[in-house]
Amino acid sequence: MPPERRALVVALVALASALLSAAPSASASPVFGVVDLHVDLPFQAQFRGKSPLDAGQATARALAAGHVEGLVLPLFVPERLGADPDQLAAVHRAAVSLRARPPFAPLPGDDTPRTQTWLSIEGARTLSASPTDIAAWVDRGVRVVGPIHGSDSPLGGSATGARRGGLTDAGRTLARAALKRGALLDASHASDAVFDELLSLSRDAGAPLLVTHSSARALTHHRRNLDDDRLRALAATGGVVGANFHAPYVARRGPATLVDVVAHLEHLVAVAGEDSVALGSDFDGDMRPPKGLASAADFPALARALLAAGWSDARVRKVFSQNARRVLGPPR
């Protein structure tokens, strides 16, 4: 975002906030439902021993305040635990337990949950010795499969790894098996070389490629973010990128703010198109939120900032929920 554009957005956001606080009622402000492509509640429940719906960045109260209609819950096993498939089963049990609680479970006398959920696998290292086992996980409800996490693995290179190479034979086997079973691939955390291979495999299968929680490298030069060429290539598959809120991914220097997230969303839309951008906050993933987006309760503030920056209601709805729903399909 050019400096003059950023200054204008800052001024407009401040004006919108002032007008909203002066209004007699907030009910006139549009309500935008949210589908967040990456919220690490199972990780907090299984490996941090927390009750994340009661304390954290995506509590039940925060989800309600933020009008969150859906979440993707990642099954993530910390790499320090190695490639033990039992650990994946354990975090899956934690996710199932979370899904049995409101707002994910319907209230008595209701037919549908207030917040729907989908499952993903973030970093499939635990399946590296038997990559075709991913098919059984898709049968158990996993919708999205991200082979790579924070370091190079037997499946391929990580954006933040030492070698940053491409997929291994095991990684290709896993990716093909996931696609064949009907899952979508997630190139978050992938090296550029792995992204390119996941893109090719998804394209060959006629499937959209996802990047559930990354932002724009053109604005913040971090290897976890996507460059413009890859944003365009992802959009050409019908896929989406979920803008990540983690402070080091959205600000080059100094404290990150809500305006930085607005800048990334504007850039992602300008490059990939408004049909290929979503939200992937990374809440409860040990992330550092920007000022003004401390929790899921602050999604309405983000919506107001985007409207102040000139977005239409229709564009906000696409990015906040419709694009994510299109690629994810019905919850399982």
- DSSP-derived secondary structure for 25-44: -GGGSPP--EEES-B-HHHH
Does the pLDDT of residue 185 top 50, yes or no?
yes
Which one-letter DSSP state was computed for residue 213? S
Give the mean pLDDT of 132-144: 98
Give the mean pLDDT of 67-81: 97
Q: Look at residue 106 and tell me if it is in a domain.
A: yes
User: What pLDDT is attached to residue 7?
Assistant: 55
User: Is the pTM higher than 0.95?
Assistant: no
CATH number, domain with residue 318: 3.20.20.140
Judging by beta carbons within 10 Å of its beta carbon (0-12, 13-18, 19+), is residue 305 exposed, middle or buried?
Answer: buried
Domain span at residue 142 reads 32-328
Percent of the chain whose predicted confidence (pLDDT) is above 90: 87
User: Which residues are CB-contacts of 237 (< 8 A; sequence separation ≥ 6)?
Assistant: 199, 202, 203, 207, 208, 209
Domain count for the chain: 1
328 touches 143 (CB < 8 A): yes
φ, ψ for residue 287 (rounded to 5)? -90, 160
Does the pLDDT of residue 17 top 50, yes or no?
no
Q: Look at residue 25 and tell me if it is in a domain.
A: no
Does the pLDDT of residue 26 top 80, yes or no?
no
- Give the residue carrying structure tokens 């209230």: 107
pLDDT in tens, 285-301: 999 999 999 999 999 99
pLDDT in tens, 256-282: 999 999 999 999 999 999 999 999 999
Cis peptide before 3 (omega within 30 of 0): no
Does the pLDDT of residue 1 top 70, yes or no?
no
Q: Look at residue 170 and tell me if it is in a domain.
A: yes
Q: Look at residue 7 and tell me if it is in a domain.
A: no
Q: Look at residue 3 and tell me if it is in a domain.
A: no
Does the pLDDT of residue 19 top 50, yes or no?
no
Q: Look at residue 11 and tell me if it is in a domain.
A: no
| Number of other CB atoms surrounding residue 2 within 10 Å | 8
User: Which residues are CB-contacts of 235 (< 8 A; sequence separation ≥ 6)?
Assistant: 272, 273, 275, 276
Q: Look at residue 163 and tell me if it is in a domain.
A: yes
Q: Look at residue 26 and tell me if it is in a domain.
A: no
